[in-house]
Amino acid sequence: MKKITITTTALFFLSSLIIVGLTGFNNPEDKQHKSKAGGEVTFTVRTVTENGNFAPRHVLAIWVEDANGFVKTRKAMANQRIQYLYTWKVVSDFNVVDAITGSTINSHQTHTVSWDCTDLEGEIVPNGDYDIWIEFTEKHAQGPLFNLTFTVGPDAQTLTPPDEAHFKDIELEFTPGFVGVEDIALNEIIIYPNPGNGVFNIQLAESEDIEINIYDQTGRVIESKSVSEQTSGTVFQIDLSKYEPGVYFAKFSSQGRITTHKLIVQ
C-alpha cells in the first residue's frame, strides 16, 4: 500500500479552502439582503406658530435619518431663507432627491408625507430603527424641532405620540412591504405609457386581488381602485388626466405585500 504524504503547505492550503467555503454559508451580504423588508411610511403632523419675526410665514423640512445619519428628505418648503433650517442643512447638505419641494409657507397647516423605505439610490433600506424629523423656523435662527423613532421590519406599526408645543396631531404608520421569493410577482407590474398624458395602462404578472391607491406629492390619496383576480397579462387603466401635470405615486397592495411606482403626468 502506498503512503500518501501531505506537506505542511498543502495542509494550510486545504484548511484555507475549508474556511473560505464555510464562510460562504454565512455571507453578511446575504443576511443584509434577507433583512430588507421595505414597506411604506406615512407621517402626519400639524405645525403651530412660535410667533417668530416673520410668523406665520415659515420655512420647513421633513426628513429621515438612521443610526449613521441622513437617509432622505421627504419635504422641503423654502425657496428663500432655506439656510435657516439649520439642523436639516447640516445633515442633508440641502439634498432634496425625490422630495416634495416648494416656496415659503404662508400659514401653519397639516403636513402628510410618505416614504417608500428607499435611500438616495433607490435601494430598499435595511430593517432597523429610523427617525423622522421635522423642523421649521419663522425667523433667522433655529426653530422648533421634533423627531419620532420607528422601526422598519416585518411588523406593521402605528405611533401617535402626545402633542408638543409646536407639533400637534402627530401620527406615523408603517406598513411592511413584500418579503420572499413568492412576492416578486407583485413587483412585476408593467405601467405604460409613463410618462404619459394621465391615462396609464397597468398590466399584472399574475392573477390576484390588488388594492391601488394613488397619492399626490403631499401624500394625499386622490384615487383608489380595487382589482379582483385579474387574469395574468390583463390590462386595465388608471386615469389621472383630470389632475395637474406632475409626479404621482401608485401604491399596489395585495395580501400584506406592497410595492410603489412613480407615475408622471405630462
Distance between CA atoms of 98 and 122, rounded to whole angstroms? 10
Looking at residue 204, what is its pLDDT? Answer: 78
Q: How far is CA 57 from the centre of its chain?
A: 28
Q: How many CA atoms lie within 13 A of 107 on its CB side?
A: 1
Please check the confidence at residue 218 and state whether its pLDDT lies above 80: no
Q: What is the mean pLDDT of residues 198-223?
A: 82
Looking at residue 153, what is its pLDDT? Answer: 86
Locate cell 407639533: which residue? 167
Give all strands of the β-sheet with 235-239 in edge-to-edge order: 190-192, 199-203, 235-239
Please check the confidence at residue 186 and state whether its pLDDT lies above 60: no
For residues 73 and 97, is the Cβ–Cβ distance under 8 A?
Answer: yes
- What's the fold here for domain 39-176? Immunoglobulin-like (2.60.40)
Distance between CA atoms of 112 and 62, rounded to whole angstroms? 10
pLDDT in tens, 58-111: 999 999 999 999 999 999 999 889 999 999 999 999 999 999 999 999 999 999
Q: CA angle, 227 as apex, 225 and 230 as ends, to 5°?
A: 155
Looking at residue 35, what is its pLDDT? Answer: 56
Query: Domain spans of the chain?
Result: 39-176, 181-265
pLDDT in tens, 135-184: 999 999 999 999 999 999 878 899 999 999 999 999 999 987 644 333 43
Instruction: Record the pTM.
Output: 0.60
Distance between CA atoms of 81 and 71, rounded to whole angstroms? 23
Please check the confidence at residue 121 and state whether its pLDDT lies above 80: yes
Classify burial at 93, counting beta carbons within 10 Å of its beta carbon; exposed 0-12, middle 13-18, buried 19 or more: exposed
Please check the confidence at residue 125 and state whether its pLDDT lies above 60: yes
Please check the confidence at residue 187 and state whether its pLDDT lies above 60: no
What are the angstrom distances between the C-alpha of 259 and each of 59, 99, 191, 218?
32, 18, 13, 19
pLDDT in tens, 2-54: 444 444 444 333 343 333 333 333 343 333 333 566 789 999 999 999 999 99
- CATH 1.10.540.10, domain 181-265, yes or no: no
Please check the confidence at residue 194 and state whether its pLDDT lies above 70: yes
Contacts 24+ apart (CB under 8 A), 30-34: 32/126
Looking at residue 181, what is its pLDDT? Answer: 35
Looking at residue 63, what is its pLDDT? Answer: 99
For residues 117 and 38, is the Cβ–Cβ distance under 8 A?
Answer: yes
Distance between CA atoms of 51 and 57, rounded to whole angstroms? 10
Confidence grade of residue 55 (pLDDT, cut at 50, 70, 90) = very high
Which candidate, 91, 73, 74, 94, places its Cα nearest to that of 83? 94
Looking at residue 206, what is its pLDDT? Answer: 66
Locate cell 388626466: which residue? 241
What are the angstrom distances between the C-alpha of 101 and each of 65, 79, 131, 136, 216?
18, 9, 20, 14, 13
